[in-house]
């Protein structure tokens, strides 16, 4: 992937939900990642009625060790259904909040919410290099040309640290196997959160200023409420 261009935005309405742990799927249901109790909840997309917990936290330690059990959520954010098979699977980006380890992409049964596998585990490496997404938030699947499967793009607004000044990243994985494809070299001011795919086959990343308490940690040139669109070749 390489950068094509970016432009400043002051308001983004159509895609403000992207990467915030919200997804819409079959039967007009709305799925929401709840970091308060580390579950995925389901709502009627038409009425807003609560339909119950879809991915639960049962059996997961409340204060996990440094190596939490696979499938246990500790900060669910981005959600997407992969459309594979008759029902498809639910992919959840999990940040492993306050565990000082990378995040992960987990796969769940789209009917029962049962854990299937870690598509991209928090232990993922390429040789000695850690390739697990450091703090995944926005995720999206993009079909490759010629029926060659899908690419999973993962946006992380920061690194594996409590200091949000660390640069974020945009990574690409195989949407079926989780195999690492590549990443976009980041800069100190790069903190992507949401990802969408444009009609001209570019990846568009939303970047917003970051705050920690009363101190501003993001690029000081950006004003509150500003956002940026970055465009990359997919």
pLDDT tens digit sequence for 185-225: 666 677 788 888 777 776 677 666 544 343 333 444 434 44
Range of the domain at 96: 3-233
Phi, psi for residue 118 in degrees, rounded to 5: -90, 105
Mean local confidence (pLDDT), 157-163: 70
Task: Using DSSP, state whether 31 is helix, strand or coil.
Answer: strand
Here the tokens at position 29 are: 């249901």
Per-residue confidence at 9, pLDDT binned at 50, 70, 90?
Answer: very low
As a whole number of angstroms, the distance between CA 95 and CA 104 comes to 7
* The predicted structure's pLDDT at residue 86: 60
Which position has the higher pLDDT, 3 or 194? 194
The band of 69, judged by pLDDT with boundaries at 50, 70 and 90, is very high
Distance CA 227, CA 197 (A): 17
Alpha helices in 59-200 (DSSP H): none
- pLDDT for the residue 230: 63
The mean pLDDT value for 113-131 works out to 93
Where does the pLDDT of residue 87 fall: very low under 50, low under 70, confident under 90, or very high at 90 and above?
low
Compute CA 150 distance to the chain's CA centroid, rounded to the nearest angstrom. Answer: 16
Do 170 and 111 touch, CB atoms closer than 8 A?
A: no
What CATH number does the domain containing 54 carry? 2.120.10
Cα 62–Cα 63–Cα 68 angle in degrees, nearest 5? 90
CA distance linking residue 71 with residue 126, whole number of Å: 22
Most confident range (mean pLDDT) of 96-105, 158-167, 197-206 is 96-105
> Total domain count for the chain?
1
CA nearest neighbour of 164 among 228, 216, 206, 217: 217
What is the rounded distance in angstroms from the CA atom of residue 156 to the CA atom of residue 17?
Answer: 16
Cβ contact 161:186 at 8 Å: no
Predicted local confidence at residue 104, as pLDDT: 96
Q: Between 65 and 92, whose confidence is greater?
A: 92
Which residue did the predictor score with more confidence, 232 or 179?
Answer: 179
């Amino acid at each position: 992937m390489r950068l094509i261009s970016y432009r400043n935005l002051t308001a983004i309405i159509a895609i403000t939900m992207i990467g915030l742990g919200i997804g819409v799927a079959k039967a007009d249901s709305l799925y929401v990642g709840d970091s308060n109790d580390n579950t995925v909840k389901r709502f009627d997309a038409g009425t807003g009625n609560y339909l119950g917990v879809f991915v639960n936290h049962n059996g997961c330690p409340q204060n996990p060790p440094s190596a939490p059990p696979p499938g246990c959520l500790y900060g669910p954010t981005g959600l997407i259904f992969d459309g594979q098979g008759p029902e498809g699977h639910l992919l959840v980006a999990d940040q492993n909040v306050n565990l000082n380890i990378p995040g992960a992409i987990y796969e769940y049964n789209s009917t029962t919410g049962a854990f299937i596998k870690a598509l991209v585990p928090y232990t993922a490496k390429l040789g000695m290099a850690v390739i697990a997404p450091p703090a995944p938030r926005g995720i999206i699947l993009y079909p490759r040309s010629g029926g060659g499967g899908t690419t999973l793009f993962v946006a992380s607004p920061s690194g594996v640290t409590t200091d949000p000044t660390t640069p974020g990243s945009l990574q690409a994985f195989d949407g079926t196997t989780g195999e690492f494809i590549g990443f976009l070299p980041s800069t100190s001011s790069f903190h992507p959160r949401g990802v969408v795919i444009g009609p001209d086959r570019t990846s568009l990343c939303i970047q917003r200023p970051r705050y920690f308490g009363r101190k501003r940690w993001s690029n000081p040139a950006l004003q509150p409420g500003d956002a940026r669109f970055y465009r990359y070749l997919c």
